[in-house]
Amino acid sequence: MSWQPVYLLVKKIPRGRVATYGDIAKALRLPGGARVVGYAMASCPSEQGVPWHRVVGAGGRLLISEPHASLQRRLLASEGISIDGRTIDMRRFRHSFSKKKSAPRKSKRVKTH
């Protein structure tokens, strides 16, 4: 299986935002869910510029172990993401992959007398 769809979606997470493994799995409709995204991220090649540090566990938990955990914390902090212990406030920093729905158009009704 190619992990390219996962990497392409992770590249869409803007600076200063994070997404969970589950968010990415749901957006891509991946069988195996968050665990599969975890495998993809663990295999992430550094030369592709994938912002791996913006992917976190459910509830905003930082799941990566040392020595990468320290690097993840520094990279997130450099983007203005505050971390409380090992948790990120997802209400504040979560990125949504769903397309925003535009406001419904007002129909122009022709008045008849």
1 has pLDDT over 80: no
Question: Do 18 and 55 meet the contact criterion of CB atoms below 8 Å apart?
Answer: yes
Digit-coded pLDDT (tens) for 4-56? 999 999 999 999 999 999 999 999 999 889 999 999 999 988 888 999 999 99
Report domain 4-93's class.
mainly alpha
